[in-house]
Amino acid sequence: MHTEERTFIAVKPDGVQRGLIGEIVKRFEQKGYKVIGLKMLQVTDEQAKAHYAEHEGKPFYPRLIKYIQSGPIVAMVIQGYNAVAGARHIMGSTNPDTAEVGTIRADFAQVMEYNIVHGSDSVASAEREIKIYFNDNELFTEGKCMSELVIESLDAEV
Map out the domains of the chain with their CATH numbers.
4-157 (3.30.70.141)
Q: Which of the following is catalytic: 2, 55, 89, 118?
A: 118
pLDDT attached to residue 61 = 95
Whether 124 and 84 have beta carbons less than 8 Å apart is answered as no
Higher-confidence position of 20 and 1 = 20
Report angle CA 123, 127, 131 to the nearest 5 degrees.
Answer: 165
Which pLDDT tens digit goes with each residue over 40-79?
999 999 999 999 999 999 999 999 999 999 999 999 999 9
Helices 123-133 and 83-91, packing angle to 10 deg: 80
Active site residue 118: yes
Count the residues in the chain: 158
pTM: 0.88
**Cα–Cα distances in Å, from 141 out to 1, 83, 138, 153, 158?**
22, 15, 10, 20, 28
Q: Where are the beta strands (DSSP E) in 12-142?
A: 34-41, 73-81, 117-119
Report angle CA 93, 95, 98 to the nearest 5 degrees.
Answer: 70
Which pLDDT tens digit goes with each residue over 106-117?
999 999 989 999
pLDDT attached to residue 142 = 77
Whether 132 and 121 have beta carbons less than 8 Å apart is answered as no
